[in-house]
Structure 1
Amino acid sequence: MDTISRLYDLQTAGPKYRAVAEAIRGAIDGGSLGQGDKLPPVRDLAWTLKITPGTVARAYTILTDEGVLEASVGRGTFVAQRRRARSGVSWPANHTAQDTDQVRLFTPRIPDVGQVAMLHDAFARLAGRPPEDLLNYPSAQAFAPARQAVLRWLEGAVLGHVANEDIVLSHGGQSAISLVMQAVLEGPRPVVMVEELSYPGFRRAAELLRAEVVAVPMDGQGIVPTALEEIAQRHKAQLLCTSPEVHNPTGICTPEARREQIADVARRNGFHVLEDDCYRLGMARAPSYRALLPDQGWHVSSFSKCLTPSLRVGFAVAPQSRRADLRRTAEHGFFGLALPLAHLTQDILTRDETYGLMDKVREAFGAYVRIAVNTLGGYDLRWHEDVPFLWLTLPDGWRASTFVQTAEAEGVQLRNADEFALRDGQAPHAVRLAINAHVSHASFEAAMQRLRHLLDHPPERIAV
């Protein structure tokens, strides 16, 4: 870190993130950082250089995209071309993708790259824990080790200063969203804002709390700040729910400058921001709203989208000033996660091999994404190899409802854009294709070919 700091001080021109990137390159070229060496955590380097974590994160992202660095959630960022050994344990994959003509692309299906065997081992270790773990209610401090393990899981996100006391374990990401809403919303009819196309779970959680849900317009970078401010003021909104890293369903990543504009709107109008980060499989590309809004930003994540959805474990991270509110909401609602499940979470998230398996899951999803892009790339397709779904805007001649029905008749099940819009909202003629890694590459490619045939032969031209 001393070498990077010294080289950073020598940079005299250009943006700060470029200066950080050049300092790291200089440390590599000069031999102070060798292949496989681990770089300082974003927060630590930002503190040393007296700059924002987002600036360091942007430098790391640039160098990662250039192949100078390699990043892995939970393990950190390394000089590229020779990774450190992950673990002496190698977990065999025992689930084989199936050949089938019926391909369901509603929800991402995670490949077994060894996590099933690892989970079997974790359950076996759980069975050997002391009897009192199965006979008593957990104490207030019983979840601290699991929360500490979650901090490692969250290293890929730029969250600002965070301690394990800021974290509450929940029954999946959806439960975490509900907990945050319960901690934040006040009054008989609070207003929750969502993106005009958004994860339906936001709306369902808000409706359970008798909140009114209002849609905010979007563009190619996410939420439109001017529209957000007008809607927040008109409705006296209390909460914005958003997914800036991997927007569900479109896959948009909101850039740092736009996030700062949105944070400014939240700051001026006093509403909270709930960030759903469940779909991110790699390092964050910009600071989270919790980092940008230390008193108003809430963060939600889980490992359902990259390890296993079956355990239903999620995490809610509160602003430090509101940690007691979040903890009280969980304790009053369900007394906290079952202690054996917390122990299992701690075991999984403290294993080095867990993060190596995540790399394999990301690589496996990427192979399916490439198949889809190679087949459908001639159309208006939004995708990223680190995102387990694609967003397809349909060509003239296709309405989304008709396309989904026709595709299902051909053995391919998709999600219509209407499912991500409010009931009174307008949805584009588009569909989301989730990656199903439980089917073979051959079956997946055949499904993409069938979709391509439909796209090439629309049933009608829609009058403009």
Structure 2
Amino acid sequence: MDTIWPEALPTSKGPKYTLVADTIRKAIDNNMLEVGAKLPPVRELAYRLQITPGTVARAYTILTDEGLLQAEVGRGTFVAPPKSPILDDVWARQLHLRDDKYNANVSLFSPRLADMGQVALIRECLQKVSKADPGLFLNYPTRDAYQPMRQTVVDWLSDLPLGALSHDDIVLTHGGQNGLCLVFQTILRGTKPLILIEDLSYAGFRRAGELMRADVVGVKMDKWGIDPTDMERVLRQTQAQAVCVSPEVQNPTGVHTPLERRQEIVEVARRFDLQIVEDDCYRMGAAREPSYRALAPERGWHVTSISKTLTPALRVGFAIAPRERSGDLRRSAEYGYFGLAQPLAELTRLLLSDPRTRQIAKDVRAKMGEYVRVAVNALGGFELNWAPDVPFVWLHLPSGWRAAAFSRAAEREGIQLRSADEFALRDGRAPNAVRIAMNGHVSMDRFEDAMQRLRKLLDNPPEQISV
């Protein structure tokens, strides 16, 4: 901006806000301000030009309305990309690099999928939805209206070992978390039910249970996941109604539960009439073992979504009950929210049935695997749990570091990650570890730089251990 106004606002006839807007507009036309360039805060520019903040704000508003600028809450005002009736694949693929251009921080809190063509495909599907029969936008949803969508989901999940499955078994949910809540609503009984989870697990399990007014009790885990011996001990002392686990990809440790251990869990669950809720939302690759719904068809519930394979933005998930409980799960959804909005369901049907989508999902998985390899190359000298098709790594911290202190030190480096404390029960003990999620929204070079900064921190623990 200094090259636009070296000293002060030039004198000219007309309102000052139009002069400010014209000056910025010309700078954009002449490429003095490139796409993504950040403009000064309103008060700062007003002070430099010796005009009122309201004058600058009005100029920014005019240019934002014209599409030349875009304002992002908490981040500032930027030069917007050129308008186009149909965004081509090049710009669509640039969308996921926005943080790389505008934000000095690298968020590794939650996985962020790289755009491998799904943005353009979703836009294409949205255009098709916009031309659908008017009834799609005017009528209450009905079960029959959703049958094509449910059948598409069955086809989409056809490579999963889920046991006998038909479209009548599929319940459409607003993402995986909504699916968990829906299953708990269907399963839990009594004024104060109780569910079991692993000592260290996805915080959404606990929150979903608490939302259902359930007590949540932790069970010990080992390198294979939940410990069946400790689970039986807890069951002898309580009247738990369900256990919630993620055997394919345990969040946050990345542990995979082998078939023998799953069979042990099923045996314990049958002895104590325990329902098994399997959260399968973090798996990006093929399932390695039969699901609990296949192993225990009378008590296995399955929840999954497209959040870690295509996009979390649509908030679309799927809940599947044991065959004899499908009606119960369906009624929970119908009484709770009737179903997905029909335009959203149609969008998802078009997306999942498109012949390009499976290849896009494979490309997303491969690209996220590249980020994993960069992380492992930088941090592999430490104790690290990882897999090429899991969008995070679990890092056991070396001597001299505590998880909270390391998280704070990483944040000072502009890197946000999750401490093990965030996955532990409130009265539980957390290991000295952190979860580092892959961020496909930043360039590989910038991600690698973040990993090297973490490596430098790990190599140089503080003189005094802090908590």
TM-score range for the pair, normalised by the shorter chain length: 0.7 to 0.9
Does structure 2 retain, via aligned residues, the 8 Å contact 1:156–1:282?
no
Q: TM-score, length-normalised on structure 1? A: 0.79
The reply to whether residue 136 of structure 1 matches residue 139 of structure 2 is: yes
Tell me what 1:49 maps to.
none
Write out aligned runs for 1:254-333 (5 A): 254-333=257-336
2:355 maps to a residue whose letter is D
2:378 maps to a residue whose letter is T
Does structure 2 retain, via aligned residues, the 8 Å contact 1:114–1:357?
yes
Tell me what 1:204 maps to.
207
| SS, match of residue 196 in structure 2 | strand
Does structure 2 retain, via aligned residues, the 8 Å contact 1:245–1:253?
yes
Write out aligned runs for 1:193-272 (5 A): 193-272=196-275
1:65-124 CA-to-partner distances (Å, cap 9, x unmatched) read xxxxxxxxxxxxxxxxxxxxxxxxx96672333266421100111111110100010001
Write out aligned runs for 1:19-38 (5 A): none
Write out aligned runs for 1:57-72 (5 A): none
1:340 to 333, 338, 343: 343
Q: Which runs of 5+ in 2 are unaligned?
A: 1-87
Tell me what 1:352 maps to.
355
Tell me what 1:410 maps to.
413
1:177 maps to a residue whose letter is L
Q: TM-score, length-normalised on structure 2? A: 0.78
Tell me what 2:182 maps to.
179
The count of residues paired between Structure 1 and Structure 2 equals: 374
Identity, % of aligned positions: 54
CA RMSD of aligned residues (A): 1.5
Tell me what 1:156 maps to.
159
2:238 maps to a residue whose letter is H
1:142 deviates by 1.0
1:104 maps to a residue whose letter is S
1:121 to 119, 124, 128: 124
| SS, match of residue 215 in structure 1 | strand
Tell me what 1:443 maps to.
446
Q: Which runs of 5+ in 1 are unaligned?
A: 1-89
| SS, match of residue 397 in structure 1 | coil
The reply to whether residue 396 of structure 1 matches residue 399 of structure 2 is: yes
Q: Measure the CA separation in 2 of the matches of 1:148 and 1:182.
A: 24
1:427 maps to a residue whose letter is A
2:302 maps to a residue whose letter is H
2:93 to 95, 102, 108: 95
2:376 to 353, 373, 378: 373
Question: Larger radius of gyration, structure 1 or 2?
Answer: 2
1:289 maps to a residue whose letter is Y
Q: Measure the CA separation in 2 of the matches of 1:104 and 1:283.
A: 27
The reply to whether residue 147 of structure 1 matches residue 150 of structure 2 is: yes
1:353-392 CA-to-partner distances (Å, cap 9, x unmatched) read 1100001101110111110100100000111110000000
Does structure 2 retain, via aligned residues, the 8 Å contact 1:93–1:115?
no
Runs of 4+ in 1 over 3 A off after TM superposition: 90-93, 460-463
Q: Measure the CA separation in 2 of the matches of 1:93 and 1:270.
A: 54
Q: Measure the CA separation in 1 of the matches of 2:224 and 2:142.
A: 45
1:115 maps to a residue whose letter is Q
Q: Measure the CA separation in 1 of the matches of 2:309 and 2:252.
A: 17
